[in-house]
Amino acid sequence: MSVLSTPTASASASAEAATLPDAAPGPRRRLTVRLPRLPRLPRLPERIAARLTPGVRLWIVGTLTVVAIACFLLLFIRGSFDFTFPRRLTMVGAMVVAAFTQGVGTVIFHTVTGNRILTPSIIGFDSMYTLMQTLMVFVFGGTVIASTEGMPKLVAQTTVMVLFATLLYRWLFSGRFGSLFLMLLVGVVIGMAFDSLSTFLQRLLSPTEYDLLSVKLFGRLSAVKDDYLPLAFGVCAVIAVIVWRRRMRLDALLLGRDAATGIGVDHKRELTVMLVLVATMIAFSTALVGPMTFFGFIVATLAYQLAGTYKHAFVLPMAFLLGLFTLVAGQFLMQHVFYAAGFLTVIIEFVGGLLFLLMILRKGTL
């Protein structure tokens, strides 16, 4: 008697065969066939970027900066050369100080805080500078601004801001619950309080006094006197030597507290030293050329993109050179092309604010 094979019978027979020991399936092996790939030619920017080592990039940016300085000093001189050249040379000196203090200070601040969106002004230097200027005009009148200009005022303002930052660090780091984030939070609150008090006092000033005060509340590269530059260069040189000798410790701080401590770095000590250096640079720059909130943020962001490495031996010089090139080239264009030399710092702050908002929207958090 013949039995017709049906799908059900076949399936049951296969199931019975699968239960037999001899028919147990082994591990499946996937048959893969690798086809030969054609060599992919790199794009031109990738090929160029592969050859641009961090040292070559520094050399290129440095060359562009020197060319920009030469153009700013020697081109479009109308009138007496003996009068114009020293004045422009003084402006270049002020730009060197501003580029070093703001660029290098912001990169160091990003390293110790572990956040590339924050700026040193979050501690409240700009707000404190504005409050000091407003109090002087409110108490002594508008003429006090011109009568007190000089080296003692510069040193006094810098000393007050550095002492404020040092006491803030010592108070917040010496406590039981002291931390960097607590210091940043307290700095934000103190800055908001200073801004509110300054705004209230400014509303009580006369229009003439407010006009005299408003000149001091914006960055002013052209108003720096040549008598201030020797002291400024000396302070920058001392800080540059200290930072350069600690560049490898800054690389270690990038790894975080646990990793830095694990390789023998005193994290708390290095954090305090770097924050005091940042406070000195930002305070001196603010007292010398006025508040520049977002300039350091722009320079540091560009330096991270163009340096090609995370090492501070290249990032710090790149930030300084980019800052100097931005100021010199921007002043040259605003003065000789757009005929608006006094608006450079305003435009820098506007562009920096837009970049700051773009970074926050792109990252989604602080």
Express each pLDDT in 73-107 by its tens digit: 998 888 888 888 999 999 999 999 999 999 999 99
Judge whether residue 52 has pLDDT over 70.
yes
Cα-flanking dihedrals φ and ψ of residue 16, to 5°?
Answer: -65, -40
Confidence band (pLDDT; 50, 70, 90) for 247? very high
Closest CA to 209 of 129, 138, 298, 258: 138
Domain assignment present for 65: no
Residue for token pair 């790149």: 318
Buried b / exposed e across 103-134, counting CB within 10 Å, b at 16+?
A: bbbbbbbbbbbebbebbbbbbbbbbbbbbbbb
The structural domain count of the chain equals: 1
H-run or E-run covering 169: helix 151-174
Structure confidence at residue 81 (pLDDT) = 85
Percent of the chain with pLDDT over 70: 82
Give the pair of three-digit tokens for residue 190: 């103190």
Q: Which of 15-29, 97-111, 196-210, 214-228 has the lowest mean pLDDT?
A: 15-29
Judge whether residue 10 has pLDDT over 50.
no
Domain assignment present for 141: yes
Structure confidence at residue 227 (pLDDT) = 86
Domain assignment present for 80: no
Q: Which of 36-45, 77-86, 133-142, 233-242 has the lowest mean pLDDT?
A: 36-45
Judge whether residue 244 has pLDDT over 90.
yes
Domain assignment present for 110: yes
Give the pair of three-digit tokens for residue 21: 């020991």
- Provide the CA 357 distance to its chain's centre, in angstroms: 14
Domain assignment present for 201: yes
Domain assignment present for 125: yes
Structure confidence at residue 20 (pLDDT) = 43
What's the CA gap between 198 and 141, in Å, rounded? 15
Judge whether residue 17 has pLDDT over 60.
no
Structure confidence at residue 23 (pLDDT) = 46
Domain assignment present for 133: yes
Structure confidence at residue 363 (pLDDT) = 67
Percent of the chain with pLDDT over 90: 27
Structure confidence at residue 166 (pLDDT) = 78
Judge whether residue 1 has pLDDT over 80.
no
Q: Which of 14-18, 219-223, 278-282, 302-306 has the lowest mean pLDDT?
A: 14-18
Judge whether residue 265 has pLDDT over 80.
yes
Domain assignment present for 14: no
Its pTM surpasses 0.95: no
Higher per-residue confidence, 40 vs 115 = 115
Structure confidence at residue 221 (pLDDT) = 77
Residue 128, domain extent: 90-363
Looking up residue 293, the CATH number of its domain turns out to be 1.10.3470.10
Q: How does the average pLDDT of the chain come out, rounded?
A: 80
